[in-house]
Chains A and B, each alone.
Chain A
């Protein structure tokens, strides 16, 4: 399209996160000359592996993988470019009374583990899994499709609405009601329909609050749980795993696939502004003042950062900007990355149990999680936080020296701004101590094994990764911000009020997590607009 000039491209992708790279890959494969620009000296966005302590590789931000669409891995040949996803072997919640609830890969072992706590819950778990799988079956076909605009009469939108209607109708009467209820109910209400034991509910509730500014009793939290369930590893729906070499392996493989298709990535190239003329984007200007031209500009930034910081306000409709300003994207999560001198001992776990080779938690009642949320509402980090901790180096031999371990600790809740104001270094340290104390209560030797700990508040995540308020999903996954309302009503098809400017980040349908679907869907919209591909329908 634009043959001449070193600074002229067919498309510029702002941000080398996983969605930016997925998007760039598809554009490059369609024959476009694509330039990816990343402000950090390294690529990856929130899917990075970094060495912040000698010999140790950390998955600094995102830390586990399930949602990355198989279709994308396959179409972009990511395994050929080095990607390998290894499933976990278990999971557990350590209880305050010294007991535990373990999750085992073996179905019979898992059943007996649940039955140890409640025979009823062991059976109810089967019903729960069935219902989650039923919901997944409804939602999964929608992930790699552009949401229809329900107010439009364009054939494409009508066709998509019809598809949605058909998918919905196929569920049958009872399941139609269940699905509708599910999207709006709280995770606690949902879990209480199945289980009698607090520990079972508390263990499962974790997925409903990770990354959100919701508590387990907030309406809408049930969907977040499903959002974490609809991934799969090699056909095992709901399974989670590690990217070998850390989460950066995903973006490294994407970048390799992209460059193999002729694309180019520039790191250390922060974009100051998206250039516009007559209601169209035509390029970007870097902070260095350098200008790059392209008739298509794709933003991997969240919707707020894109329109409030990177596009001149006078180019945008006022009401649109007001909606962007109101978009809910609240910081609620912190992260600790810890280098360990050895494997910590958890006395509650029986010797030889594989349940430490997966996600470990310490909140054993819904009440505890809700209280942790209360702290956040009051502008404090949770005094007894929900943590999702993993030691991937028990499975992945490539990340640390022999005998050492890396622990990723995701922390919920941690506010973007404290009640008393901005974060200070001392407060960050105190937050980290709270988390370390929480773990040490369940592992006497944990503290003594710590070689280095990186402590990250939502503000740190925003500063480093660029996610507004450090929200890992680029916007809350609540019903008012999902599907054809994501990110904003009328703009759910990856397009913007400016011609040539597209959004490919998790602010868009189907939302957050290292899924790649927004990037792929956005690429399809672009290719359709440039006459290179047909929409709707999946990329193939």
Chain B
């Protein structure tokens, strides 16, 4: 289905079904690898793309997100043993965000589970998991198949996203509640309608949807959205703009905010869901799941570290800053994993891993920030207050039906 003009040793990265459209809009030729695909980092300008997310609508190609089809009589039992949430309540038409751990209760990955029908699920993951899924499937009657390249995926996110999808003819889109999915028809004048699976999910913390389709439908869907939206502030966005939105929303990025226990080399660098503030995803009452015993023990003694949100003084993002307990910088309290100046909140925000004793909301830590003043570097110790996450959570993200803007 994806025709490659060059062998993999010449062109190692695959192209998604949206690639030709993305390439024609790319002004900077700024591409990055993502799970074996070429992905756009920036189309035109990070700021403009970011404001498309918060002001109108953004299109983001998330085809490279790894996807597995999990089916069989034991599919639910398998997923319930694999992940920390109780998925027995997940009905067809629903989506759940969840995480999974190794036997030591350390995080392997996070992702979303789509219940397509009874005993039939799709698992979307940040990283490849076939090896772990197969090992976890021993003793279960379940079929696991990677379907990443069989499904093209496009995120449509922003305050006008519902209206945009309505305007391409997705009837009933306004009734879709958060974490629901449905298959809606996109009518076409000179061809048969396209069946689009739409989920009200996303990585921006805003009103938004994700569209899942056959790769052959990718370009017509993109074209329909752009035709309606290009004069109304709709933009294709790259990963840099999305990253700003996800930090505002307080979402975690693997390899940035934590390293999967499947990759860590150094002992002690793994992270548990409890440390990452994902304890709400861990259901100890549902019976056995991988990592349960270790997580119970950790819960009893309390996590050693904690992921927190920070409000940092000044305007310089605290990229990779070390955090100290006092201005003197003698005792380290943790370090920043993600940081931006938030244009929407007008705050200098960051996500950080700190020793649990410092994780109380309102506590003040000190961030070690390096300022480049025309190549003259200065070091500043600035206060960073521990604050609640998310930094940005507009009411429209949950409103059903959503407003038009």
Judge whether B8 is part of the interface by a CB distance below 8 angstroms.
yes
With a CB–CB cut-off of 8 A, which chain B residues contact A113? 8-9
Indicate whether A137 sits within 8 Å of B8 (C-beta atoms), given known contacts A119-B130, A123-B130. no
State whether A127 touches B7 (Cβ < 8 A): no
State whether B13 touches A123 (Cβ < 8 A): no
With a CB–CB cut-off of 8 A, which chain A residues contact B262? 126-127, 130
Which of B111-119, B263-271, B305-313 contacts its partner? B263-271
Size of chain A's interface in residues, with CB distance under 8 A? Answer: 30
Q: Which one of A102, A107, A126 contacts B9 once the chains associate, using CB atoms below 8 Å?
A: A102
State whether B265 touches A130 (Cβ < 8 A): yes
State whether B36 touches A111 (Cβ < 8 A): yes
Taking the nearest CB of chain B, how far is it from the CB of A99, in angstroms?
14
Indicate whether A112 sits within 8 Å of B8 (C-beta atoms), given known contacts A123-B130, A174-B104. yes
Considering residues B7, B131, B134, B265, which has the most beta carbons from chain A within 10 angstroms of its beta carbon?
A: B131
With a CB–CB cut-off of 8 A, which chain B residues contact A130? 262-263, 265
Which residues of chain B from 265 to 284 have a CB within 8 Å of any chain A CB? 265-268
Indicate whether A112 sits within 8 Å of B12 (C-beta atoms), given known contacts A119-B130, A120-B130, A123-B128. yes
Judge whether B257 is part of the interface by a CB distance below 8 angstroms.
no
Judge whether A398 is part of the interface by a CB distance below 8 angstroms.
no
Q: For the complex, what is the distance from the CA of A102 to the CA of B8, rounded to whole Å?
A: 11
With a CB–CB cut-off of 8 A, which chain B residues contact A133? 265
Size of chain B's interface in residues, with CB distance under 8 A? Answer: 23
Taking the nearest CB of chain B, how far is it from the CB of A141, in angstroms?
13
Scan A156-174; emit 1 where CB is below 8 A from any B CB, else 0: 0000000000000011101
Binding site secondary structure of chain A: helix
Nearest A residue (CB) for B129: A123
Which of A5-13, A59-67, A351-359 contacts its partner? A351-359
With a CB–CB cut-off of 8 A, which chain A residues contact B13? 108
Judge whether B33 is part of the interface by a CB distance below 8 angstroms.
yes
State whether B12 touches A123 (Cβ < 8 A): no
Q: For the complex, what is the distance from the CA of A108 to the CA of B129, rounded to whole Å?
A: 16
Which residues of chain A from 353 to 367 have a CB within 8 Å of any chain B CB? 353-355
With a CB–CB cut-off of 8 A, which chain A residues contact B8? 104, 108-109, 112-113
Judge whether B379 is part of the interface by a CB distance below 8 angstroms.
no
State whether B265 touches A108 (Cβ < 8 A): no
Q: Which one of A108, A350, A355 contacts B33 once the chains associate, using CB atoms below 8 Å?
A: A108
Q: For the complex, what is the distance from the CA of A104 to the CA of B9, rounded to whole Å?
A: 7
State whether A352 touches B10 (Cβ < 8 A): yes
Q: List 29 A-B contacts (CB under 8 A).
A: A102-B9, A104-B12, A106-B9, A106-B12, A107-B12, A108-B8, A108-B12, A108-B13, A109-B9, A109-B12, A111-B36, A112-B36, A119-B130, A120-B130, A120-B134, A123-B131, A124-B131, A127-B262, A130-B263, A130-B265, A134-B265, A170-B267, A171-B267, A172-B268, A174-B103, A175-B267, A353-B7, A353-B9, A354-B9
List A residues at the B interface (Cβ < 8 Å).
102, 104, 106-109, 111-113, 119-120, 122-124, 126-127, 130, 133-134, 137, 170-172, 174-175, 350, 352-355
List B residues at the A interface (Cβ < 8 Å).
7-10, 12-14, 33, 36, 103-104, 128-131, 134, 146, 262-263, 265-268
